[in-house]
Amino acid sequence: MRSSRRASTMAFLLAVVLAGCSPAAERPSAATQTGYPVSLDDCGRTVTVERPPERIVSLNQGSTEMLLSLGVADRVIGTAGWTDPILPSLEAANAGVKRLADTAPSYEAVLNAEPDLVTASFPDTLGAGGVTTPENLEKLGVPSYVSAVECTKEAGSSDGARSSTLEIDAVYQEIRDLATLVDRRDRGDAIIADMQDRVARLSGTKTVDGTTAMYWFANAESPYLAGCCGGPGIISRTLGLTNAFADAREDWPQIGWETVAQRNPDVLILGDLTRKSQTAENAAAKIAFLESNPVTREMTAVKNKRYIALAGAELNPSIRIVDAMETVADGLRRHGLTR
């Protein structure tokens, strides 16, 4: 299930990528660009890049897709941490980028790539307990950046609670930050402006008052469901939906099916992941579970097949957040939940 309006977005990103992949003779090489060193605040930690990065390793899909959208595919020498296929508009740019691992790579694999910048979407990838830490990389003279969307997350927490509610401005900030580090500020501003225009158009979506939704990322036995304050919260507030689990401050708390059935949400927004690390990863497996489980099959949304599928990368706060909004808005209209 994908929004037809995404075609305009793909065309926009394709233009961006093609501009970034033009022959070196038609644009200055990274080594000749000025404006370095650059420093920025990364959730209270100062990141300084002394010269234009030429060997970037990105440890999560969201970070990789932002970098490719900024037009620096020729400087991304390794990626990891994938839940879904690459955005179709970025396939050509991604084709030449080495995948170090589908999930988290080893620290050795990262070091063997000889990066001069490492980026990540999550602190449990680049942080304590992850592939490595920013501090370890700093000792080797390698700067690193973790997404600005993680700045409101409690220290040491991956899917855990946030100190404040995440807003879409944090996604825009991540785009600006990465654009600054790779000297693509104008391109970053253009991507943000396009996203803002699309969000403004979505303001015309009027969801039926009181419509409740459940966001299910993965795992059938103890499902990860969205709490109030992460990426799905941005989607819900923009479209006027009520998250059935808005009383949970964690991004993805694990909640029992009996509790889900008691709250009986009107529509079920399902992660359609292609990775294979948990049970019920794709939307088809989730629907099969919901319709066969004696607790969930009696839910109103299940009986009426009110399902909306989103890629895992759309459920995380990333450059795809507006794609997710458009898909959910289309699904709500299809299920008769708008007015």
Question: Measured between alpha carbons, how far is residue 182 from residues 60, 207, 304, 335 in Å?
Answer: 17, 40, 48, 43
Residues 25, 152, single domain; the answer is yes
Q: Is residue 295 part of a domain?
A: yes
- Whether 3 is in a domain gets the answer no
Summarised one tens digit per residue, pLDDT across range 216-231 is 999 999 999 999 999 9
pLDDT for 33: 53
With tokens 């307990």, the residue in question is: 129
Residue 40 is part of a domain; what is its CATH number? 3.40.50.1980
Which of these three, 178, 199, 220, is where a domain ends? 199
Q: Are residues 19 and 130 in the same domain?
A: yes
> 178 with 219, same domain?
no
Report the phi/psi class of residue 304: left, alpha or beta, with left for phi > 0 and alpha for psi in -120 to 50.
alpha
Q: In terms of domains, do 60 and 120 share one?
A: yes
Domain total in the chain: 2
Residue 18 is predicted with a pLDDT of 42
| Cα(319)–Cα(323) distance, integer angstroms | 8
pLDDT at 134: 97
Give residues with Cβ within 8 angstroms of 244, minimum separation 6: 212, 213, 214, 260, 263, 265
Domain shared by 214 and 320, yes or no: yes
pLDDT attached to residue 202: 95
Q: What's the domain range around 261?
A: 205-334
Whether residues 45 and 179 share a domain: the answer is: yes
pLDDT at 153: 81
Q: Is residue 105 part of a domain?
A: yes
Helical axes 231-239 vs 321-334, angle rounded to 10°: 50
* Whether the Cβ atoms of residue 161 and residue 250 lie closer than 8 Å to each other: yes
Low-confidence ranges of the chain (pLDDT < 70): 1-34, 155-160
Cα(273)–Cα(333) distance, rounded to whole angstroms?
A: 23
132-186 confidence digits (pLDDT tens): 999 999 999 999 999 999 998 876 555 668 989 999 999 999 999 999 999 999 9
The answer to whether residue 339 sits within a structural domain is no
| Main-chain phi, psi angles of 111, to 5 degrees | -65, -35
Within a domain: residue 1? no
Residue 146 located in a structural domain = yes
Residue 2 lies in a domain: no
**Crossing angle between the packed helical segments 61-69 and 6-20, to the nearest 10 degrees:** 70
Do the domain assignments include residue 95? yes
209 and 170 within one domain: no
Q: What pTM was computed for the model?
A: 0.89
Strand 267-271 with 242-243, pairing: unpaired
**Whether 217 and 195 share a structural domain:** no
Whether residue 96 is found in the same domain as residue 121: yes
Task: Using DSSP, state whether 171 is helix, strand or coil.
Answer: helix
